[in-house]
Structure 1
C-alpha cells in the first residue's frame, strides 16, 4: 500500500482534470451511503468525526475519516484533519492511504467550481471569498478554473490571515492569466454588492451574508455549514435564490443554511431546484436567466472523495 502525502495530492490534482472527474462521477453515479456523523464532547468544546464510504459497482472502494476540531484555531492548528483509504474493488486490498486534508479541501473547492460552471454567469469576473481557513484558498483557484475571474476580494475575521492570503494570490496566475486585483475587504455588505460570485467557507453558526446584499445575477456558494446548527447566510438569501445542492440526502440531513431557513418559515426542501447529479445529466437547465440569484449549498459527499482519489491514483 502506498502512502500519498499532502504535497503529492496537491501536485496530482490539477483543477481541470479534478473538476471533470467529479462531474463525470456525478453524472454516472456510484454507491454512496449517508456519511456517519459523530459528535465528540471534549473539555475544550465539541468536535466532530465524519466517516464517508463510497464504492463503484465494478471498481474502486474508498472511505474517508475526517476530524473537525473548531477549537484548534485558538492554538494556531488546522481545524480539519483526516485520511482517505482507497482499495481495489476486485479484491478489497488497500491500494493507498491518502492525506485526507489536502484531498478534502481540493475536492470541496472542485465541487463548488463544478456548480459554478452550471450556475454562475458566463462572464462572472469578480469573486468574493468569505473566510481564511484551509478551503478558502482552494476556492479562489477552483473558481478561476471555470470562470474568467479578474478581481478577487477576501474577507476574514483574522486580519493577519486575510492579508497573508491576499498577498499569496496577488502573484497567482491561473494558466497564463494573472488576476488584475486581489484585495482585502472589511465591509462585507459593500463587497457582496459588487461580487459576481460570493464563496463562503467558514465554521460560522450565525449569518454572515444577507440576502439584501446580493445583486441580481449573483451566484452564492455556501461551503462551510455542514451541521444543522451552522449557517453562513440568512433566510433572505435562501428564500430569494434558486437553490441547488451537492446531494439531496446531504441537504436534507445537514445543510444548516437550509434547515434554519425552514425553521424560520422561509423555505421548504421541495424548493430545491436540483442537485449536481441532475445538473450534470442535463435534467435541469441551471439558472433561469441572467438576473436570477443562484445559491449552491454543499455539505460534502463521499462521491467527491472517491472521484478525487481515483483521479489521483490513476494519474500518478
Structure 2
C-alpha cells in the first residue's frame, strides 16, 4: 500500500498545478505502483465508481475530446478528467494535446486541486502494465521485450523491474534514435548499471521474451504474431505492436476493463469485427477474487486501457506531495 498521505489544507481556494510544478515532485516508482494498485483494489471492492467516458469528435475527425468522471472511495474524492487533442490529421509536431484533472474532497465538499494530467498518465500507464506483468508472467520469467520508444515506452522497463526484479534480459524494439536514447536514460536513472539490448529481429526477440509490452504508435509496422510467442509468455497491449492473432489465439485474456476494450480495442477485431470475451479483469485479480494465470504454459494476452480511478488516485497523491512542498498557485476561483 502507498505510504500514509499527508493532509491537504482546505481553505476554499483551488490549488492549480502546472506541468512544471508536477515535474518538480519526486515520487518513487514503487509509490506509483502502490497507489495505482490501491485504486484497483478499491474499485473491485465496490467502493469506487468508474463510469464510461464521454467522447465527442467532429465529422471530419480533426480533433477528439473526452470527459471522465470518477470517485475514489479510499481517498473520498471525486474528480473529472478531460482530454482534448487537436490536429489529428497533422504531424505530431503540429498537434495540440491538453489533459487536466480536477479533484474535490467528498468529505469537506471543498476543492483539492486542478492539474495538468500529462505526467499522471505517463506514470499511470506503465505502472498498470507492470502490474499486469507481475500478475500474468510465468514464475520463471526472465526476459522482457518493449516495443516502442514514445512516452509509454520510455518508462516501461523501469516499471517492469519494479514489479519483476528477477528480469535479467531487457530488449527494446524501436526505430527512433532519440527515443532509444530516452529509454536508456530512464533505465539508467532508476536502475543504474542495467543494460537494454536494441533488437532488429522482432520475431526472434518475441520468441525469446517472457513478457512483451507493446507501446508503439499507430504508424508502426511492428506486429508480433501469436505463433512467435513462447509457451507461458504474456503480451501486454498499450498502444500498437501486437497483431490481432496474439489476442484471438491467446489461452487467456486479461483486461483492465472489458467494456473499454470492446470500445477502444476495435483494431484488434477479427474479420467479422468481433473481439473475444475477457476471462478476467485486473481489479478482480489484484483484489484476490480471481487468478490471472491458471497454468504455467498459458499464453496470456493483456489489454491495458486507462481507468479514471487510477488517474484520480495518482493525481491526489501528487496534490498531497505538492501541498507538502508548497508547490502550485492557489486561486480563489469562487470568490
1:1-316 matched pairs, under 5 angstroms = 1-6=14-19, 8-9=21-22, 11-29=25-43, 30-40=48-58, 46-56=62-72, 59-68=76-85, 71=88, 74-76=91-93, 80-148=97-165, 149-157=167-175, 159-169=176-186, 171-174=188-191, 178-179=193-194, 181-204=195-218, 208-224=223-239, 232-241=241-250, 242-258=252-268, 260-261=269-270, 263=272, 267-269=275-277, 272-316=278-322
The count of corresponding residues between Structure 1 and Structure 2 is 300
Q: Is the 8 A contact 1:152 1:183 kept in 2?
A: yes
Change (3 A) 1:305 1:237: same
TM-score (norm 2): 0.79
Higher helix share: 1
Tell me how far apart the structure 2 counterparts of residues 287 and 79 of structure 1 sit (CA, whole Å).
40
Q: How many Å separate the matches in 2 of 1:252 and 1:15? A: 30
> Following TM superposition, where does structure 1 have runs of at least 4 consecutive aligned residues deviating by more than 6 angstroms?
none
CA contact (8 A) 2:157 2:187 kept: no
Q: Contact 1:109/1:139 (CA < 8 Å) preserved in 2?
A: yes
Scaled by the length of structure 1, the TM-score of the pair is 0.84
Specify whether residues 72 and 103 from structure 1 end up closer, same or farther in structure 2 by C-alpha distance, changes over 3 A only. farther
Q: Give the C-alpha shift of residue 78 in structure 1.
A: 7.5
- Shift of residue 106, structure 1, vs aligned partner: 0.7
CA contact (8 A) 2:147 2:174 kept: yes
SS at match of 1:49: strand
Q: 1:210 to 1:264 in 2, by over 3 A?
A: farther
Which has the greater radius of gyration?
A: 2
- CA pair 141-79 structure 1, distance change in 2 beyond 3 A: farther
User: Could you tell me how far 1:23 is from its partner in structure 2?
Assistant: 1.6
CA RMSD of aligned residues (A): 2.7
User: 1:243–1:4: structure 2 CA closer, same or farther, 3 Å change rule?
Assistant: same
Shift of 1:275: 0.6
Q: Which stretches in structure 1 are left out of the alignment for 5+ residues?
A: 225-230
> Would the aligned equivalents of 2:35 and 2:313 in 1 still touch at CA under 8 Å?
yes
SS at match of 2:196: strand
Structure 2: gaps of 5 or more residues: 1-13, 323-335
Q: Is the 8 A contact 1:111 1:304 kept in 2?
A: no
Once the two structures are superposed, what CA deviation does each residue of 1:165-193 show, in whole Å capped at 9, x if it has no partner?
Answer: 3442463343xx632x2122222112111
Cα–Cα, structure 1 residues 27 and 167, in superposed 2: closer, same or farther, change >3 Å? closer
- Structure 1 position 40, deviation (Å): 4.1
Alpha-carbon distance in structure 1 between the residues aligned to 2:114 and 2:84: 16
Does the 8 Å CA contact 2:147/2:153 hold for their aligned counterparts? yes
Shift of 1:145: 0.6
